[in-house]
Structure 1
C-alpha cells in the first residue's frame, strides 16, 4: 500500500498555525480543503472483545488496509468500543467508550499523539479550536486542540449523553437517560453556553434521544425505538425530529421517516434504517428547506445497514453495512442515490461505525 505519511507535503495544506502575538496563543488559520486523498474506516468491534480497528482506504491506489492503526502503531491497540471519530486541523480524535479515552492521532498518518482520559467518551463535535466530547458520565468534556489537554467539563441534568452538535455558540447534547440513570428513558437535549461552559437550558424531546446534527440553521434529532418494560413490545419505532434552536423546542416530527443514522449533505438530510419489528429497511432524502421526503436508494437497505456518512467535498455518501459476525462493507453513492463503488468488500467487521474523509 502507498503510505499516507504526507505530513511534510500536507502540513501547509491541512492547517497552518499563525504566529503568537501579544494578545494570546497562536490560532489556526482558515483553510479550505480541495481534495480528498483517503478515508478512515472506524470499526467498533465487540464490547470488551479487543477487536476494534481503524482501517484506511487510499483513493489513489484504491487499496484498503483493514488494520491501518496497527500498521502505523506497532504493538499498540486502538482500544475498546471506538464510537466516533472526527478530524480537526492536523489531528484526528477518536472516542473509546469502553476504554474511557479519547485517542488523538495524526490526521494523515494515523499515529498516536496522545491519549486523554474521558470516562464514557461517546460522540464528538469540533468548534473554534476546541473538540467537545459527550460522555456517558452525564457531562460534556472540552479538549483544547493546541495543547491537546482537557480544559473543562460541563455537567448536564441527565446521563448517558449521546449525540452532540454545535450551533451559534451553543452545544447541544442528547440525554439518553434520566438524571437517575434510567437508560433509554431520557427525554431531553441539554443546551450548553460555550463562553461560560455551563448548561443553560433543556429541550424536552420524545423518549430515547440519540443522534444530533445541524442542517440549514436547525437541529435534527433521532430517537431510538421505545419498548415496554419487558422489552418484548415496541411502543414506538426510531424517529426523526426537528428542533428550533431559537425557541428551544421540538417543532416537527417527520411522520413517515424511521431512522437509525443520518448525515447532512448540502441542502438535504439523508437517513437509513432497518426495523427489526417489521423487518423492512428504508432510506430517505429530506429537503431541509421544504421538509419534502423522497426515497434515497433504489433498493431499500437490508438488515445489515448500520450507518451513513457524508463527504461534503466530493458530494458522496457512504452506506455502512455491518457483518455482525463477519466482515461488513462500505458502499459509496452520489447525492441522487446512484451506486458509485464499494470502498471495500472486506471492511473490518463486525460494526463499522464511521467513515471519515482525509482531505488536503
Structure 2
C-alpha cells in the first residue's frame, strides 16, 4: 500500500465496518516486550521518550512504547499490562502525544477521546471525550484540542470543526471555539492560538485557511488564506510559523509557507513538500511521503531548512544510504541533548514498523528497533518511567 495518511483515510472509511471484526478480544492483554536499542549510558535531563503507534483504523491496536536512555532498552506496548482494567486499551488510531506537567496525553482520534496517564507510570488517570479529536497544545493550565467535530467520513457537507478548551485540573471541556473545516495542528504564540484548517473531508473543496484565536476571549479573530489542505504548524525561534500544505495529490503539489503572526500574512513560499517536520535549533527537519494519483507512487524526500535564512540547506539528511531501508517515513523527532534524530517507518501500515536512530551531525544510523503498527508520535520525558510493578 503506497498511500499518504489522508489517502489512507479514504480507504479506511470505506472498509471501517468490515475491519471492526479484526479487533482484539476485550479480555486479551498483550504483555510488553523489550529490545535493545542504543548503548546503556548515563542519561541527561531527558530520561527517555514515549512513542505512540497509530495503528490502522478499525483495528483498535493503538499502542504505546517507551525508550529508556540509561538502559538503552526499548519496551513495546507498555499500556496494556499497566492498565489491565481499561477495556479496549488505548483505542483506535493514536493521533498525537504530548506531556504537560506530570501527565501524558494521548489523542485517540477514532475513539473520540484523549487518554490521560501518569507520566511516571503510564497508568490511566482519566479520559476526555472530544469527537474526532486531532492534536493538542497547552498553556496556563488549559489544553486546546482540534476537533473535526463530525463523524469519520468523507462528506462534502461536513460541518465546521472547532477547538476545545480543556481544564487540565478537572479534565473537563469548558469551552469550544468554531474554526475552519477539519482543523489539524495548532501552535500558541503569545496570547493567540493558530490552527491549520485542512478541509480534508470536503475533498476536492479543501479549506485553505489558518484560524487565529484570541486565548483571552477564546474567540476566532479571523481566518487567513494560505493554501489548500493545510496540516502541520511549527513555531521557530524567530516568531515565524512554518505551515505545510498537502496539496490535492493530483496537480497541486505539497508546499511549505512561512506565516508571520505580526503581519498575519504569508511572507515566503518554499517548493518543499512536507508530511511532517520538527525543529532542532534553527534547523527544520522535514520529510515528505508525497502520494500522487497521477503516478500511483510516493515521492520521498528528507530536507533541512535554515529557519533564520529561510533557505534549504540540505536535500538529504540521511547520509549513510540507510534511507533505502525506510519504506514509508511516518514520524520524526530530534534530541539535541543527545545529538540524535529519529525517523519511524510505517512499512505497509498493517504490520509492525521500525524506529531508526541517527547521529544528528553525521546523518548515520546508530540503532534500529521494531515498533507497533504505524509508529508516529514522540514525547520526550524528564522523568524515567517506573517499573510496571514497583517493589
Indicate the TM-score class for this superposition, using the shorter chain for normalisation.
0.7 to 0.9
Q: TM-score, normalised by structure 2?
A: 0.77
Q: Is the 8 A contact 1:124 1:131 kept in 2?
A: yes
| Total equivalences in the alignment | 320
- Report what 1:28 is aligned to: none
The whole-number CA distance in structure 1 between the counterparts of 2:277 and 2:128 is 28
- Report what 1:169 is aligned to: 191
- Report what 1:74 is aligned to: 84
The whole-number CA distance in structure 1 between the counterparts of 2:267 and 2:228 is 15
User: Is 2:70 the partner of 1:60?
Assistant: yes
- Report what 1:11 is aligned to: none
2:51 to 41, 44, 47: 41
- Report what 2:131 is aligned to: 119
User: Is 2:191 the partner of 1:200?
Assistant: no
Q: Is the 8 A contact 1:329 1:347 kept in 2?
A: yes
1:215 to 227, 236, 242: 236
The whole-number CA distance in structure 1 between the counterparts of 2:306 and 2:171 is 38
- Report what 2:248 is aligned to: 226
User: Is 2:378 the partner of 1:355?
Assistant: yes
Q: Is the 8 A contact 1:103 1:115 kept in 2?
A: yes
2:252 to 224, 236, 245: 236
* CA 1:2–1:328: 2 relative to 1, 3 Å: closer
The whole-number CA distance in structure 1 between the counterparts of 2:378 and 2:90 is 16
1:75 deviates by 3.8
Q: Is the 8 A contact 2:55 2:350 kept in 1?
A: no
- Report what 1:270 is aligned to: 285
Q: Is the 8 A contact 2:359 2:366 kept in 1?
A: no
Q: TM-score, normalised by structure 1?
A: 0.83
The whole-number CA distance in structure 2 between the counterparts of 1:315 and 1:89 is 25
- Report what 2:331 is aligned to: 307
The whole-number CA distance in structure 2 between the counterparts of 1:213 and 1:280 is 22
CA offset digits 1:251-272 (Å, max 9, x no partner): 21112x1111100111111101
1:253 to 261, 269, 273: 269
Question: How is 1:333-348 mapped onto 2 (pairs within 5 angstroms)?
Answer: 333-344=358-369, 346-348=370-372
The DSSP-based 3-state class of the residue aligned with 2:198 is strand
Structure 2: where are the runs of 5+ without partners? 1-31, 35-42, 150-160, 384-391
1:58 deviates by 2.0
The DSSP-based 3-state class of the residue aligned with 1:70 is helix
1:146 deviates by 2.5
Q: Is the 8 A contact 2:127 2:171 kept in 1?
A: no
The whole-number CA distance in structure 2 between the counterparts of 1:225 and 1:335 is 30
Higher strand share: 1
The whole-number CA distance in structure 1 between the counterparts of 2:291 and 2:96 is 24
Q: Is the 8 A contact 2:56 2:93 kept in 1?
A: yes
Q: Is the 8 A contact 1:212 1:222 kept in 2?
A: yes
1:343 deviates by 4.9
The whole-number CA distance in structure 1 between the counterparts of 2:343 and 2:91 is 24
The whole-number CA distance in structure 1 between the counterparts of 2:204 and 2:187 is 21
